[in-house]
């Protein structure tokens, strides 16, 4: 039996492959399918029965508007959006926060209506200190923004899970202190109306894991 998942692109690329190994080992899952997309489409995949499970980030001030009774959820883990930049020759960020009024930082932004874009906008509406940014580029995909950062076009907020290897190799560096980080929860949702032995087996496995 094939388990059907839907997730945003960054989660499908950076979290799901490793997490699936654990599920396969514990439950003997032999087949799965992933539909990656933006958060709106992923939620629609779940509510329309196209997927068994939705894996996504959540933020307390950016609600998903899923009825908890019909779409119960489990916490899979935590992540955070962190400000990153390419490094200079000395290993310092080329585009360090907070910038300056006469030299604002080139800022790679998420699309304004995207989930991650709304999270960053919340931070910038009340920043830890005054900052000066100029919106240089916009894209809804974290991977596309990461490519622009790697090419030294500016700075951006990216999921730590997406850049941890780049940070370890020194290809990217933090562009600000932890005051600029945006905490996220990594959640798994299901529909109570879409069930199968494989779905229930995974759900019970994850329920037991959260109790430990």
36 lies in the same domain as 93: no
Element (H, E) at 145: helix 142-150
167 lies in the same domain as 199: no
pLDDT < 70: residue spans in the chain? 212
pLDDT at res. 181: 99
CATH number where 67 lies: 3.40.190.10
197 lies in the same domain as 178: no
Range of the domain at 163: 79-183
42 lies in the same domain as 103: no
CA 183, CA 190: separation in Å to the nearest integer? 23
Number of H helices, E strands in the chain: 7, 9
Q: pLDDT exceeding 70 applies to what percent of the chain?
A: 100
pLDDT of 57-76, one tens digit each?
A: 999 999 888 999 999 999 99
What percent of the residues of the chain are helix, what percent strand, and what percent coil, each to the nearest 5?
A: 35, 30, 35
9 lies in the same domain as 85: no
pLDDT at res. 65: 84
pLDDT at res. 45: 96
Q: How many CB atoms lie within 10 A of CB 34?
A: 17
Going by their DSSP bridges, the two strands 31-37 and 2-8 should be labelled as parallel
CA 43, CA 32: separation in Å to the nearest integer? 18
68 lies in the same domain as 124: no
Residues 6 or more apart whose Cβ sits within 8 Å of residue 187:
55, 56, 57, 58, 73, 74, 75, 76
DSSP sequence for 62-81: B-----TTTS-EEEEEEEEE
191 lies in the same domain as 203: yes
pTM above 0.85, yes or no: yes
Q: How many CB atoms lie within 10 A of CB 24?
A: 13
9 lies in the same domain as 55: yes
CA 10, CA 162: separation in Å to the nearest integer? 7
Contact 188, 58 (CB under 8 A): no
159 lies in the same domain as 121: yes
pLDDT at res. 26: 77
pLDDT at res. 200: 93
DSSP one-letter code for 86: -
83 lies in the same domain as 179: yes
21 lies in the same domain as 92: no
Domain count, the chain: 2
36 lies in the same domain as 60: yes
């Amino acid at each position: 039996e094939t388990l059907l998942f839907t997730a945003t692109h960054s989660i499908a690329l950076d979290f799901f492959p490793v997490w699936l190994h654990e599920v396969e080992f514990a439950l003997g899952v032999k087949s799965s399918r992933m539909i990656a997309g933006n958060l709106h489409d992923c939620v629609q995949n779940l509510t329309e029965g196209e997927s068994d499970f939705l894996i996504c980030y959540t933020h307390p001030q950016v609600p998903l508007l899923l009825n908890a009774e019909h779409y119960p959820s489990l916490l899979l883990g935590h992540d955070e959006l962190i400000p990153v930049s390419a490094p200079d020759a000395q290993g310092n960020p080329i585009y360090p926060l907070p910038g300056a009024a006469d030299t604002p930082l080139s800022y790679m932004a998420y699309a304004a209506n995207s989930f991650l874009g709304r999270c960053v906008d919340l931070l910038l509406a009340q920043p830890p200190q005054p900052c000066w940014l100029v919106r240089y580029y916009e894209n809804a995909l974290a991977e596309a923004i990461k490519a622009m950062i790697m090419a030294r076009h500016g700075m951006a907020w990216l999921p730590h899970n997406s850049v941890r290897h780049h940070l370890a190799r020194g290809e990217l560096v933090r562009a600000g202190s932890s005051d600029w980080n945006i905490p996220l929860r990594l959640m798994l949702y299901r529909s109570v109306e879409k069930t199968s032995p494989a779905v229930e087996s995974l759900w019970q496995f994850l329920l037991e894991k959260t109790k430990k």
